[in-house]
Structure 1
Amino acid sequence: MEDNFKIGIIGGKGKMGEFFARFFQKKGYYVLVSDKDTQLNNQSLLQEAKVILISVPMSVFPKVVEEIAEFTTPEHWILDVCSLKLEPYKIMKSLLKKPEVLATHPLFGPYETSLKGKTIAYFPIRGKNLLNWFIKVMSEDGLSLIKISPKKHDQIMGLVQVLNHFWLVLLGNIINHSGFRLEEIVSLATPSFLKQLEILQRLAYQDEKLYTKIQVDNPYGKRFRTLFYRECKKLIKALNSSEAQVFFETNFKEVKTLAKTLENLLKSSHPH
């Protein structure tokens, strides 16, 4: 490791910023942070550190990149951890002409105790040294690295993130308006429903501002919310008709086929 190989985190006092500060410190790296109330500002951070990780909300991301662009050099390595990738990719490619640049999205939150089996998406923008270092460092902790174009990433996140969060909030709303006490629901929950409740309970520790931004900022989210609504209407209409049994059995068989394929895929890609 180079003597001057320091890692600077812009937004280092945020939850993900703090997570990556701990992550790199455990690996023996010297970590510096800049944020609203730190002695170091972003310009000073670039003077001190070789690797710059930008961990800020999308609302201020363009301003931050524009601010640091003039202070970057060919020796700098810069990466982001935004949950959307197309706009950050365009911004960094346009403004950061000198340094090596990498777009990334950790597909996990800041409360994970182990990264083994977790996934991080990435797409190189400029340079190979940063990319090779990043892949090596992340692989050491058992992370699965997926290279994907920014546009395709955001399209899939419309399903994986936007619809998933939409469904969880909807489930919470239904439970709130069900007329049952939570204790009653939990006491009679089946194993599969308990798993859904365990996923729902994770929202207790999440940032509502971040989840709101993910829901409203992804331009592909509307497509999947509309698809959700359309499929709900179709299923409700069929179940309220005389063809309810035939329709549901046929639909269930189709989903069983998908489920079997999914079972095999999960066994191979996420082994226990």
Structure 2
Amino acid sequence: MGSLFARIYGGAGWEVSVRGRTGHEPMATFLSRQDVVMVSVPIDATLGVIAAVAPHLRPDQLLCDLTSLKAAPVEAMRRSAAPCVGLHPIFGPGLDSIAGQTVVITPATATEGEYGPLLEVLEAAGARLAFTTPEHHDELMAVVQGLAHALSLVLAGTVRELGADLDELLEFTSPVYRIEFGLVGRLLAQDPALYGPILRRNPNVPAVLAAARTALEELADAVDDPGPGSFVRLFEEDAALFASHGAAATAETDRLIRCLAEPER
């Protein structure tokens, strides 16, 4: 992600310096030349890097991070003399453009005047900015990321527990189900060190998983009920929750289905 943001700000005319966690010159010397310091490292390394960087910064600099969790990193950045703001790009680093993509902003000790130029570059690149507190961000991400990833892992784990033949299952899928299985395969093709901290380091995830467990038990009870009433009631309650999103969700997924249904050229 750091490389992507280096290209974005470099392309906007900013002079960008990139440093890993080790370098040829002392950290303090490197940091003294920067107006903005952006921390972009794996979740498990973030607090340590912020702790190493923060003491060397001045009040006339700006400190920010790109971590997908926000409460703990922002709290760590608050200890610096430099004003700080948290950022979370809700997309992967492989994009050619961030136009239409969301970046969550969690203001902390920096004023709008201090972090404004940073955000102007993102807006000029077409990003959509969403503002919230670090704590509420993590509550939302426990569902948006944590629950979504957990459900993918549950699907994979269920197939494993059943001893089912994945290749045979895929032979019997429609485009809708290929999308479902494709998202699982995409997640599992990546590094567990990326997804583990998203689930394990967010303190809101256990409550979300407990709610998911309850929902699955409710569904199991409805399926076991000899009559249709329990399932219909459960389905209608959930349908009412998603009613305002139904039309947009159908249109978006129809586009995906058409892409999978059309033969490759």
Could you tell me which runs of 5 or more consecutive residues in structure 1 were left unpaired when the two chains were aligned.
Answer: 1-15
TM value normalised by structure 2:
0.85
Amino acid paired to 2:152 = L
Could you tell me whether the CA contact under 8 Å between 2:99 and 2:126 is conserved in 1?
A: yes
Aligned to 1:73: 58
The structure with more strand, counted as a fraction of residues: 1
1:91 pairs with 65, 68, 76, which one?
76
The letter for the 2-side match of 1:194 is: R
Q: 1:178 to 1:116 in 2, by over 3 A?
A: farther
Q: Deviations over 1:42-92 (max 9, x none)?
A: 323212221110112343333333332332122212111111111112111
1:149-181 CA deviation, whole Å, 9 max, x = no partner?
Answer: 111111111111111111111112223344443
What is the Cα-based RMSD across aligned positions, in Å?
A: 2.4
Identity %: 25
Give the whole-Å Cα distance in 1 for the aligned partners of 2:214 and 2:188: 29
Change (3 A) 1:40 1:185: farther
Residues 121-200 of structure 1 correspond to what in structure 2 (within 5 A)?
121-125=104-108, 126-200=110-184
Structure in which a larger fraction of residues adopt helix: 2
Task: After superposition, give the CA deviation of every residue in 1:16-49 in whole Å (9 maximum; x if it has no partner).
Answer: 2222223323333322122144324532321222
Partner Cα separation in structure 1 for residue 96 and residue 203 of structure 2: 32
* Equivalent residue number for residue 97 of structure 2: 114
Does residue 51 of structure 2 align to residue 42 of structure 1? Answer: no
Cα distance in structure 2, aligned partners of 1:155 and 1:64: 24
4+ long deviations beyond 6 Å: none
- Report the residue type matching 2:18 in the other structure: V
What is the CA–CA distance in structure 1 between the aligned matches of 2:234 and 2:88, rounded to whole Å? 35
Residue 132 of structure 1 and its aligned partner are, at CA, apart by 1.2
* Distance change in 2, residues 1:108/1:236 (3 Å): same
Q: Which amino acid aligns with 1:127?
A: T
Q: How many residue pairs were aligned? A: 251
Q: Which runs of 5 or more residues in structure 2 are unaligned? A: 256-265
How far does residue 131 in structure 1 lie from its aligned partner after superposition? 2.2
Deviations 1:82-110 (A, max 9, x none): 111111121111x112x231111111122
